[in-house]
Every structure is written in C-alpha cells, then in structure tokens.
Amino acid sequence: MKKNILIYLSIVAVGLVTTIVACKKSIEGRTENISFLAPSNVDANAGSWKLVLLSRPDSFSVAAPAATNSPGYIGELNEIKGLQQNLTSDQIDKIKYWNAGAVLRWNEIMRELVSRHNLPPYQNEDGTYPIPNSANPFNYPQFPFSNPPYAARAYAYVSTAQYDALVACWHYKTLYNRPAPYKTDSIINANAKYIAKTDLPSYPSEDAVLAGVTAEMMKLFFPTEISFVEQKAADEKASTLASGKNTRSDWTAGEALGRQIATVFLARGRTDNAGKAVGTPALWAQMEQDCAAKGEVPWISQESPKRPPMLPLFGKVKAFLFDSATLVNTIRPGAPPSTSSKQFKDETDEVLYYSEHVTRDRMKIIDFWADGVATPTPAGHWNDIAAMDFLTQNFSEVRWARNMALLNMAMMDAAIACWDAKYAYFNPRPSQIDPRIKTLTGLPNFPSYISGHSTFSSAAATILGHIIPSRQAAYDAMADEAKMSRLYGAIHYRSDIEVGEQVGKSVGAFAVQRAESDGAE
Amino acid sequence: MRRITKIISSSVASAILITITCSVSAQTDMDAIMMNKNQFCQGLTYDYSSWDHYWEGTFKRTNENLGTVTTQSVMYMPNYGITSNLNVMASVPYVWTNASEGVLHGMKGFQDLSLVVKWRPYKIALGKNQLSFFALGGFATPLSNYVIEFLPMSIGLGSTNLTARGMVDFRRDRFTVTASAAYIWRSNVKLDKDSYYDTQLHLTNEVEMPNATQYQLRTGYRGKYLIAEALLTKFVTLGGYDITKNNGQLYPNIKMNSTMVGANVKYTLKSFTNLSFDGGGNFTVAGRNVGQSKAFNVGAFYVLNLGKKAKP
C-alpha cells in the first residue's frame, strides 16, 4: 500500500518536472526568426521622393564607381567569395538578422537604447535632482534621460535622417546603376542564400547608408552608446559583405554618404530648442504662479522630494510638420475644465471610480499601454506596432524608412503639441485634487491636460491608417485602448484623453498631408 | 502523543516580490516534524511583512514615494499524514499589499496554491541521539491571474514552481538542529506588456524566470508541548538581473537574494492537544533587489484523527 502510494507520487513528480522543464524553453522575440526582406517593389524611383531636410538628393556627392570588369572590383568580388567560405552559424545568424531589414533592426536598437536610458534621475542629498548633462554624458545621471518627449524626438530625427539618406542613396543607385555582386558573379549568387535578390543596383549600399547615418545621429542622441552602436554598424558591414549583397566599395561609398547626410540633421537637432526644454527653477515657479493667477489650481509634483516638471519648454521645440504659429493658433486646444467647475469635479469623481474599482481586464490594458519608465515610451510602442505591420507589407528599405519617418515626425510633433498644452495650462493630476485616488501605473511627473498617450496614439493611428488603410480600424481601436488605459490607471481625466485625441488627429493629418505629396504614393 | 505538524508559514507575506524570503517555498515544510498516520491538521495563519529600506542591486535606499511597503496574508494550510513517514500538505494564501506614501494603489488576491509531499525515509537512533533524513517535493502555482509587473505592489511573481528539498534533522534529548537545502525550478511567466527591458529589450511577453535555491538552518528546543527555534534562512536566485538606479519598472526575473534571521515558537495546549498556536518573526539582514523586511506570523492549528473516525 505504502509502496503504491510512493510509486504514484513518483509518477506525479516526474510528470510535473517534465511539464515545468518543457515550459522553460528559452524565450524568442517576435522578430528573431523572421525571413529576409523581400520587397514587392524596389521603388526604383525613390531618388525623386520629397526630402525632409536635404535640398537635393545629390547635396552630397558620391563618386562614380569603378566598372564591374575592373581589377579592383574583381578583387572585391574575391573578398566576398572568401567571406562566404566557412561561414559559422553565428555569422549566418547575423546575416539573417540584418537582412530582415536594416531599417527594422536599427529601429529595434533605438527602442532598446531608449528603454535603457529612460530612467528618472535619483535625487541629491539635499532633495534637489541632478540634470543629465550632454557635455558630460557618462556622469550620473547619464545623458540622456530618454523620457517620452525626448524619445519621440530621437526616433523622429533618426528616422528622417535615415529616410533622406536612403532617398539620396536611391538617387545614386539609379544614376550609377552598378549591379549587385550576386548579379555579377555566379559563385556569389550561388552562395547568397540568405538575402532577397532584386534588380536594385548596389552602389552605394543601402545598408551602409543606414549604418553610417544612424551611427552618426547617435553622437547627439545617445552619446554614451557610440561604441555600442559602432559595433552594431561593424556587424552589419561584415554581415552585408558576406551575404553577397554588396562589395566593399558599395559599402564605403554608402557609409560615407550616410555620415555626411547626418550632419544636416545633427545641425538642426542642436538648434531646435530641445537643449533649452528643461527650463530653470524661476521658469517652473513662474508657470505655477501664472496658472494660479488665472484662478486655477496649478499642478504640483507628487513625487517626494518634489521633482521639477518634465521638459516644460518642449512645446517650443521646432516641429517637422508645422510652424510655431500654426501650433499656437491652430493646434493648441482650448483650456481644460476649470478646477472649480462642476465638470472638473465630475471628471475627478470618474477617475476615483476607476481607482476604486479595479478589474483584471482593465489592469491588462493599463499594463499593456503603460510604456513608462525603462520602456521604449509610447512612441516606441507605436514603432513596434508599425514595424510588425510593415513586415507583412514587403516594403523596400526606402519605403520602410519613409513610413517610419512619417510616423515618427507625427509623434515628435504630437509630443510638441501635447507638451505645449500641458505647460500652457499647468493642470493638476487627479490624485493631486483627490488624495483618495491611488494610481494603477506610474504617475507621470508633469501636468495632466492633455494626455500624452492619447496625443501620441491618435497621431500614430492617423498616419498608420493612411499608410495601411486596411488596418485603420485596428489602429483606431488600439489608440482608443491606449487612451482609456490612462483613465483606468487613474492618472488622467476624460477631458485630457478626448482633447488629446483631437490634437493627435490634427497632428496626424499634417503627416498624412505630407505623405500624399512626397512622391511615394 | 499526537504531534501537530505545521507547514512552515514563515512568510508567504515576506515571500512577496521584493520582500522575498522563504516565500517561494513558504509553504514547503522546512521543519522535521511529521503528522502521524491518518492525522489531518488544518491551520490558519496570518503574516505581516513590511520594509522601508530596500536594495536596488547592492545599493541600499529608502523611497519617499513608497514609504513603508506592507504585505499581509491569511493562509489556510491543510496537512495529512498518509503514514507517519509520509505527509502531504497544501497552502492557500490570500495576500494584500499597501504602500504608506506616494500614490501607488495596493494589490490583493489569492496568490499561489502550494502542494508539498514530505517523506522521511530514514530515522536512525543512537542512544540519546536521533538522526532523521527527509526528502520533500513541492509544487506551487498561481491561484489567480494576478498582475506580476506592478512590483513592489504585485502580490507574487506568477511562476509555477517545483521544489526539491533535502533535510537532515539531529536530535539529542530536547535539543535539535535541522538543516535543509532546496532547489526551486521556476517556470517562465507572461506579462501583460508585449515587450520589456531588463538588460536588453525583449520583444515578447514571456519572461524567463531564473531558478533559485533556498537554505535553512534551525536549532532550538523541541519539547512535547513547546517548540522554540532560531532560524537562519538564505534565498539565492540563480541568475536574474539587478534593478538599475531609480528604476521603478521591475519584472519578476530580478535577482532577488536575501538572508534572514528569525525565531519560531509553537505551543500545544496540554489540556487539549488537538489545538496548537504558533508565532514567529523574521528579519532580513542582507539582501539584493529585495526589501529589508521585518515579518511576523501567528497561526492556529487543529488536528483531527481521521483514522479513528473511519473505524466501525
């Protein structure tokens, strides 16, 4: 009897161990094992698409390549053949990784860097907070603190720089029309198993343009990550050469072009007012006084020690899609419900309701869209959503870059519009008004009106719906959920969300307008 | 002569996330006491654990936006003696959390069901000395779909665990020393988010949970009615990551280590030996990515002899 029980228990134990061990398999990211980018259309005319900052696609010159029958070029082909012998599985994995799409991979790397640096500084002994300093980026707190507006701007600059660089790249590809190594050499063609073979000329290399322009942009946006990013660029170079996609001279010309084009974007980035967005203690106090002078309850930091408001002058950053007069006169929303009004009280009570009536379904929505500290931020989340959909569309690299640029210009400008409203009205958070309100997600340290999530998400859904019309309803549903997550989380009033949606849609419409006239449709 | 066994309650509460301690095996018996054949013991315990200091990696700090974080739980614990050398036990905790400062909302709910099989294959008596060997197997799994990415307010880590524990108990008269070591396999867990950053960005909702070990040394007096012991408990996560400075977004695969010292007292009523009470406390003396918890627990246990009832 005892023996039987022991045998039975042993069987159960073995079964449980097997189950657990089986569940323990290592995790796989959703883009880890995707197939290579195979564009349904190489967009051969992309050299004529409308640029964002460059005045012409040939603003930076690229020398004509050597002929494919020249000794130098034949040497380059032999280099590729050498690389293709005895590829290790690690090298093959890297070839597959980069050939899933370099715009995608650089976008993922950006999201990782934003997540890593999206940490609010720890306070000083005296209860003040240190501010990251771009002149001394490795000192704690490291530069940058890639909070949502910072991140939205970083994504936009990198995406637009990549886009302009690829348009220039396509211009020269068409101009010089040098075929890819796999077109020129049958051995390389036979060994080029991990890439899509197209008629796209390979000089200058689009991978190299992307590596060069992105690595250069990081010098402004993530200065502590330059060595990390240059290593990624070197990986991409080694992988692209070994893949048979381009030769060394294709790469060299492309990388140089990318790095040169980045300088135009870096120059804009250094003078777009973002450097001044932190403001000063006098300014923070003035904003509070101005709000109180209007008879409204001003926002107060609920962190302890009190943290200065996040980037109060981010609304003054130079937008990509509209000028500052349009922002103030057309886009800026009207005032929120007065803090002494019945509507404001009702809306605060609604927030209290959600704080006191937590459901698991709402928690899932709150968590899914939290996009708070140490995440890629809401803009990064929408980059992820976009990337997963773009993968199904078989876009060319240049179209990927164009669509990411449109999305990220819309979201950076949404951040500008949102931050402009937040600091124009300096409206308090619900939990400041009613201390019974406890939040179900991190409480952002800046004024309430209007909701950043709502503005970002509505702008993103608007432009993405234009890019992939069949997904418009899905994007709208996602944006609705993202918006409501902030009310469910008890950190935003309904007005913040509804007006945020309107502002986001109007910003998104500027991006749609650009998309309709950039020559790509 | 009935002996009431108690499943170690040493703290489901302190088991919670960054308050971890014995938690993962909170329901695993770490003592050397067995139920007799056909004895059925039921217990109800209350655990209270709180901390205001915690370790971010190795950096010890306080946080005015949390104040004191408190985890409380009420746990039901049945235990049955299949034979005097083979017991099965379970525990069902209801847990709730609270932060004294800041705006974060507490969480509550049923945490993890735990099942433990406790087997004593050998018992050797040498004069006044007695040496016993135990093997224990535990299984724990969430009873509800609680949120695991809202640490430190979450009520648990969400993994399904298997625990294998070996234990040796030495006894001379009323003096005892018990040493145990456990290995805990922890299943992967799923977040509500579909991507997360720990030391890299993962584009999935699935988190690979590091396994863990737990060691305990306990010694003291074990009498017929009174048991009083001192405890030293160490929990070590095999892998996981350190919380970066001032990072409020924590995931369940943090490297949570802790060393706790504590005491436990149990008293069985002389006049009514079916009933016993116990109480204890634990204090975290060293840790990494955990709260420096002070925990105490109280409980009451009632034994029924099902064997007698079954007789005609």
Convert the pLDDT of each residue in A254-294 to its tens digit: 999 999 999 999 999 999 999 999 999 999 999 999 999 99
Residue A202 lies in a domain: yes
Average pLDDT over residues A77-105: 97
Cα–Cα dist B159/A23, whole Å: 11
Query: Of A253, A270, A287, which residue constitutes the final position of a domain?
Result: A270
Q: Is B77 on the interface with A (CB under 8 A)?
A: no
**Same structural domain for residues A119 and A158?**
yes
Helices A206-221, A148-176: axis angle to 10 degrees equals 150
Question: How many domains, chain A?
Answer: 2
Nearest CA among A51, A62, A333 for reference residue A173:
A62
Residue A403 has pLDDT above 90, yes or no: yes
Cα–Cα dist B11/B33, whole Å: 18
Looking at the DSSP bridge assignments, the partners of residue B50 are: B70, B294
Binary contact (A108, B203; C-beta < 8 A): yes
Residue A66 has pLDDT above 60, yes or no: yes
**Same structural domain for residues A190 and A315?**
no
Binary contact (A5, B82; C-beta < 8 A): yes
- Write the single-letter amino acid at A115: S
What are the structural domains, with CATH classification, of chain B? Answer: 17-310 (2.40.160.40)
What is the separation of C-alpha A323 from the centre of its chain, rounded to a whole number of angstroms? 23
pLDDT the model gives residue A475: 98
Residue A46 lies in a domain: no
Chain A residues with CB-CB distance to B100 below 8 A: none
Chain A residues with CB-CB distance to B152 below 8 A: none
Average pLDDT over residues A154-170: 98
pLDDT the model gives residue A468: 98
**Same structural domain for residues A227 and A120?**
yes
Per-chain mean pLDDT for chain A: 96
Q: Which of A4-8, A219-223, B84-88 comes out lowest in average pLDDT? A: A4-8
Cα–Cα dist A21/B103, whole Å: 39
- Write the single-letter amino acid at B27: Q
**Same structural domain for residues A161 and A62?**
yes
> C-alpha distances in angstroms, A506 versus A13, A314, A483, A503?
60, 19, 16, 5
Domain region containing A505? 277-516
In chain A, whose CA is at the least distance from the CA of B150?
A: A441
In chain B, whose CA is at the least distance from the CA of A8?
A: B117
pLDDT the model gives residue A24: 58
pLDDT tens for each residue of chain B, 312 residues long: 333 333 333 333 334 444 333 333 333 468 888 999 999 999 999 999 999 999 999 999 999 999 999 999 999 999 999 999 999 999 999 999 999 999 999 999 999 999 999 999 999 999 899 999 999 999 999 999 999 999 999 999 999 999 999 999 999 999 999 999 999 999 999 999 999 999 999 999 999 999 999 999 999 999 999 999 999 999 999 999 999 999 999 999 999 999 999 999 999 999 999 999 999 999 999 999 999 999 999 999 999 998 765 444
For A289, the enclosing helix (H) or strand (E) is: helix A281-293
Question: Buried b / exposed e across A3-21, counting CB within 10 Å, b at 16+?
Answer: eeebeebeeebeebeeebe
In chain B, whose CA is at the least distance from the CA of A107?
A: B201
pLDDT the model gives residue B28: 42
**Same structural domain for residues A266 and A382?**
no
Residue A493's φ and ψ, nearest 5 degrees, are: -80, 165
**Same structural domain for residues A382 and A487?**
yes
Query: Of A244, A270, A296, which residue constitutes the final position of a domain?
Result: A270
Assigned token pair, A217: 């942009």
For A355, the enclosing helix (H) or strand (E) is: helix A342-356
Nearest CA to CA, how far is A489 from chain B (Å)?
10
Portion of chain A with pLDDT greater than 90, in percent: 95
Residue A30 lies in a domain: no
Nearest CA to CA, how far is A477 from chain B (Å)?
17
Cα radius of gyration (chain B)? 20
Q: Any long-range contacts for B177-180 (C-beta under 8 Å, 24+ apart)? A: B177/B217, B177/B218, B177/B219, B178/B30, B178/B31, B178/B32, B178/B216, B178/B217, B178/B218, B178/B219, B178/B229, B179/B215, B179/B216, B179/B217, B179/B218, B180/B30, B180/B134, B180/B215, B180/B216
Looking at the DSSP bridge assignments, the partners of residue B181 are: B166, B215
Residue A133's φ and ψ, nearest 5 degrees, are: -120, 120
For A164, the enclosing helix (H) or strand (E) is: helix A148-176
**Same structural domain for residues A216 and A308?**
no
Average pLDDT over residues A57-67: 97
**Same structural domain for residues A458 and A323?**
yes
Name the B residues in 78-97 with CB < 8 Å from any A CB: 82-83, 86
For B277, the enclosing helix (H) or strand (E) is: strand B275-288
Which pLDDT band holds residue A358 (cuts at 50, 70, 90)? very high
In chain A, whose CA is at the least distance from the CA of B65?
A: A304
- Write the single-letter amino acid at A234: A
Nearest CA to CA, how far is B160 from chain A (Å)?
8
Nearest CA to CA, how far is B53 from chain A (Å)?
15
> C-alpha distances in angstroms, B304 versus A493, B134, B274?
56, 24, 7
CB of A410 within 8 A of CB of A460? yes
Average pLDDT over residues A118-146: 96
- Torsion, Cα A138 A141 A143 A147, to 10 degrees, reads 150
Binary contact (B246, A442; C-beta < 8 A): no
Binary contact (A374, B247; C-beta < 8 A): yes
**Same structural domain for residues A483 and A464?**
yes
Binary contact (A373, B248; C-beta < 8 A): yes
Q: How much of chain B is helix, strand and coil, in % rounded to 5?
A: 5, 60, 40
Nearest CA to CA, how far is B265 from chain A (Å)?
32
Global ipTM: 0.95
CB of B5 within 8 A of CB of B25? no
Burial class (CB in 10 A: 0-12, 13-18, 19+), B278: buried
**Same structural domain for residues A169 and A284?**
no
Residue A48 lies in a domain: no
Cα–Cα dist A370/A136, whole Å: 31
Binary contact (B187, A23; C-beta < 8 A): yes
Residue A28 lies in a domain: no
Cα–Cα dist A380/A371, whole Å: 8
pLDDT the model gives residue B310: 46
Nearest CA to CA, how far is B144 from chain A (Å)?
10
**Same structural domain for residues A301 and A174?**
no
Binary contact (A367, B64; C-beta < 8 A): no
Query: Of A242, A270, A298, which residue constitutes the final position of a domain?
Result: A270
In chain A, whose CA is at the least distance from the CA of B194?
A: A368
- Write the single-letter amino acid at A309: P
> C-alpha distances in angstroms, A326 versus A329, A499, A510?
5, 17, 11
Q: What is the CATH number of the domain that holds A322?
A: 1.10.606.20
Assigned token pair, A87: 């590829």
Cα–Cα dist B242/B244, whole Å: 6
- Write the single-letter amino acid at B178: T
CB of B49 within 8 A of CB of B71? yes
- Assess whether the previous peptide bond of A450 is cis (omega < 30° from 0): yes
Portion of chain A with pLDDT greater than 70, in percent: 95
Average pLDDT over residues A247-251: 98
Q: How many CB atoms lie within 10 A of CB B200?
A: 11
Number of cross-chain residue pairs from A and B with Cβ atoms under 8 Å apart: 129
CB of A170 within 8 A of CB of A47? yes
Q: Any long-range contacts for A1-8 (C-beta under 8 Å, 24+ apart)? A: A2/B82, A2/B83, A2/B86, A5/B82, A5/B86, A6/B86, A6/B119
Residue A17 lies in a domain: no
Cα–Cα dist A217/B42, whole Å: 65
Strands B275-288 and B257-268: antiparallel
The count of residues in chain A is: 521
Residues A302-326: tens digit of each pLDDT: 999 999 999 999 999 999 999 999 9
pLDDT the model gives residue A16: 62
Cα–Cα dist B45/B55, whole Å: 28
Nearest CA among B56, B13, B27 for reference residue B250:
B56
**Same structural domain for residues A266 and A290?**
no
Residue A383 lies in a domain: yes
In chain A, whose CA is at the least distance from the CA of B109?
A: A360
Binary contact (A27, B202; C-beta < 8 A): yes
- Torsion, Cα A23 B113 B231 B239, to 10 degrees, reads 20
Residue A22 lies in a domain: no
Q: For residue A50, give the DSSP letter.
A: P
CB of A165 within 8 A of CB of A210? yes
